Amino acid sequence: MADPIRGVLFDKDGTLFDFEATWNGWAAMMLADLAGGDLDRAAELGARMGYDLAARRFDPDSVVIAGTPDDIVRLLLPGVPELSPPELITRLNATAARAPQAEAVPLEPLLAKLRGMGLALGVATNDAEAPARAHLAGVGHAAAFDFIAGYDSGYGGKPEPGMCLGFAAAVGLAPETVVMVGDSTHDLEAGRAAGMRTVAVLTGMAPEAELAPLANAVLPDIGHLPDWISAQG
């Protein structure tokens, strides 16, 4: 019989927050800013990172979905030669921190329920830590989490297991008693590499068929998580 689940580690974008509802507006704003209002240049920059500016839609394989800000910078930099890599990443992080977040489900009752089940809660995102904290604080939920880490927090980025293992160590849990919850293969691969159970949700861009081979369960959204955890014994 599997060990009871004692902790839940969430991805942020596409998991706690609906990916398209949150990041489509940010992408259009950020690209217009970088392009100085030149729509043709903004569209070209969007294509570099897998975003269709005219349609206001990300490609399913866009680097923005599961990559880090450093990954985005590498793709955008040839299109903004007037900026250095540190300048570009500062601009990206600054605009990302201001992006209004659309909760995938109402988070307050869900987090309270999970807390009431005695679970430790954490966030592991390939976003930078500062914008991640700003997003969680902006919706009033930063204090609900015992651990918040970004790709730049010293644990590395997903799909490597560093953030997952960092959470387990921070809350004093064995990895096998933690479930990693995410919307991308990077999330699930990181959780599995850390020895955790994995749950996929469908509030990101990846289809169920892509996620299912890496997940113990695929749920429509994180609102179904308490019932799934209770069923694990």
pLDDT of 145 above 80: yes
As a whole number of angstroms, the distance between CA 116 and CA 102 comes to 24
191-208 per-position pLDDT tens digit:
999 999 999 999 999 999
DSSP states along 7-19: EEEE-TBTTTB-H
- Smallest CA-to-CA distance from 11 within 213, 195, 196, 180 is with 180
pLDDT of 100 above 90: no
pLDDT of 228 above 70: yes
Can you give the pLDDT at residue 1? 58
Which structural domains are found in the chain, ordered by start? Answer: 7-17+102-231 (3.40.50.1000), 20-97 (no CATH)
pTM, whole model, 2 decimals? Answer: 0.90
Can you give the pLDDT at residue 47? 97
pLDDT of 70 above 80: yes
57-58 and 51-52 strand pairing: antiparallel
As a whole number of angstroms, the distance between CA 62 and CA 35 comes to 19
Can you give the pLDDT at residue 98? 86
Structure tokens at 158: 């997903």
β-strand partners of 147: 122
Place of tokens 């387990």: 168
Can you give the pLDDT at residue 95? 87
- What radius of gyration, in Å, describes the C-alpha atoms of the chain? 17
In this structure, the number of other CB atoms found within 10 A of the CB of residue 145 comes to 21
Can you give the pLDDT at residue 59? 92
pLDDT-derived band at 62, boundaries 50, 70, 90:
very high
Count of all residues that appear for the chain in the document: 233
| 125-139 average pLDDT score | 93
Can you give the pLDDT at residue 65? 87
pLDDT of 233 above 80: no
| 86-102 average pLDDT score | 90
Can you give the pLDDT at residue 25? 87
80-93 per-position pLDDT tens digit:
999 999 999 999 98
- Smallest CA-to-CA distance from 121 within 83, 80, 173, 86 is with 173
What residue type is 23 in one-letter code? W
3-state SS string for 60-110: CCCHHHHCCHHHHHHHHHHHCCCCCHHHHHHHHHHHHHCCCCCECCCHHHH
Give CA angle at 122 (119, 123), nearest 5°: 150
| 130-140 average pLDDT score | 93
